[in-house]
Chains A and B, each alone.
Chain A
Amino acid sequence: MRSAGAVRFRDPQIEMAHGAGGKASRRLVEGLIAPLLGGPLLGPLMDAAVLELGAERVALTADAFVVRPLRFPGGSIGELAVNGTLNDLAMAAARPAALVVTLVLEAGLAASVLEAEVRAIAAAAERAGVGVVGGDTKVVEHGKADGMYITTTGLGIVDPRARLSPAAVRPGDRVLLSGPIGDHGITILLARGELDFEASLCSDTRPVLPFVERLLDVAADGLRWMRDPTRGGVASALNELAVDTRLGVGLLEEMIPLRDQVRGACELLGLDPLHIANEGQFLAVLAPEVADAALAAVRATPGGEAAALIGEIRTEPAGAVLSTAPYGGARIVDMLVGDPLPRIC
Chain B
Amino acid sequence: MKYVDEFRDPQLIRRTADEIRRLMEPGRHYRFMEVCGGHTHAIYRFGLEDLLPDSIELVHGPGCPVCVLPMGRVDDGLALAVEHGAIVTAFGDMMRVPGRRGSPLEHIARGADIRMVYSPLDALKLACDNPDRQVVFFAIGFETTAPSTALTLRRARSLGVPNLTVFSNHVTIIPAIRAILDSPDMRIDGFIGPGHVSTVIGCRPYEFVARDYGRPIVVSGFEPLDVLQGIVMILRQLREGRAEVENQYARVVPWEGNLPALQAMAETFELRPYFEWRGLGFISQSALGVSAAYADFDAERRFELPGVRVTDPKAAQCGEVLKGVLKPHRCKLFGRECTPEHPVGALMVSSEGACAAYYNFAHRRARLEEDAAPAPAAAAG
Chain B binds chain A: yes
Q: Is A13 an interface residue (CB 8 A)?
A: yes
Q: Give the chain A neighbours of B48 by CB distance below 8 A.
A: 329
B175-201 interface bits toward A, Cβ cutoff 8 Å, 1 = contact, 0 = none: 000000000000000000000000000
Docked CA distance A314–B364 (Å): 16
CB contact under 8 A between A14 and B109, given known A317-B368, A327-B13, A338-B96? yes
Partner of B364, one of A269, A330, A334: A334
Q: Give the chain A neighbours of B375 by CB distance below 8 A.
A: 314-316
Q: Which of A20-45 contact B (CB under 8 A)?
A: 23-24
Of the candidate stretches B39-47, B246-254, B320-328, the one touching chain A is B39-47
A293-324 interface bits toward B, Cβ cutoff 8 Å, 1 = contact, 0 = none: 00000000000000001111011111110101
Determine which residue in A14, A332, A338 has the highest number of CB atoms from chain B within 10 A of its CB, and name it: A332
CB pair A317 B369 closer than 8 Å: yes
CB pair B46 A329 closer than 8 Å: yes
Q: Is A231 an interface residue (CB 8 A)?
A: no
Tally of B interface residues using CB under 8 Å: 42
CB pair B362 A311 closer than 8 Å: no
Q: Give the chain B neighbours of A134 by CB distance below 8 A.
A: none
Q: Give the chain A neighbours of B365 by CB distance below 8 A.
A: 317, 320, 322, 330-332
Determine which residue in B9, B10, B44 has the highest number of CB atoms from chain A within 10 A of its CB, and name it: B10
**Smallest Cβ-Cβ distance to B110: which chain A residue:** A13
CB contact under 8 A between A15 and B105, given known A196-B119, A316-B368, A329-B224? yes
Partner of A327, one of B4, B109, B224: B224
Q: Which of A67-94 contact B (CB under 8 A)?
A: none
Docked CA distance A309–B379 (Å): 12
Q: Is A337 an interface residue (CB 8 A)?
A: yes
Partner of B47, one of A194, A309, A318, A325: A325
Of the candidate stretches A52-60, A106-114, A146-154, A248-256, the one touching chain B is A248-256
Q: Give the chain A neighbours of B96 by CB distance below 8 A.
A: 338
CB pair B46 A195 closer than 8 Å: no
Determine which residue in B49, B364, B375, B381 has the highest number of CB atoms from chain A within 10 A of its CB, and name it: B381
CB pair B364 A317 closer than 8 Å: yes
Determine which residue in B13, B49, B379 has the highest number of CB atoms from chain A within 10 A of its CB, and name it: B379
**Smallest Cβ-Cβ distance to A330: which chain B residue:** B47
Q: Is A263 an interface residue (CB 8 A)?
A: yes
Partner of B381, one of A196, A312, A331: A312
CB contact under 8 A between A327 and B14, given known A194-B118, A263-B1, A338-B96? yes
Q: Is A17 an interface residue (CB 8 A)?
A: yes
Q: How far is the CB of A61 from chain B (nearest CB, A)?
A: 27
CB pair A317 B14 closer than 8 Å: no
CB pair A316 B372 closer than 8 Å: yes
CB pair B380 A312 closer than 8 Å: yes
Q: How far is the CB of B269 from chain A (nearest CB, A)?
A: 24
Q: Is A206 an interface residue (CB 8 A)?
A: no
Partner of B106, one of A15, A194, A314: A15
Instruction: Give 9 CB contacts A-B under 8 Å.
Output: A196-B118, A250-B380, A252-B380, A316-B375, A317-B365, A317-B368, A325-B47, A326-B10, A329-B49
Shortest Cβ-Cβ A-B pairs, 9 listed: A329-B47, A312-B380, A317-B368, A327-B13, A316-B375, A327-B10, A252-B381, A331-B361, A326-B10
Q: Could you tell me which A residues sit within 8 Å of B by CB distance?
A: 13-17, 23-24, 174-175, 194-196, 250-252, 255, 260, 263-264, 267, 269-270, 309-312, 314-320, 322, 324-332, 334, 337-338, 340
- Other than the known A260-B1, A331-B44, A340-B92, what 18 A-B pairs have Cβ atoms closer than 8 Å? A16-B105, A16-B108, A250-B379, A251-B380, A252-B380, A267-B1, A270-B351, A312-B380, A317-B372, A318-B372, A325-B10, A327-B10, A327-B14, A327-B224, A328-B51, A331-B45, A332-B360, A338-B341
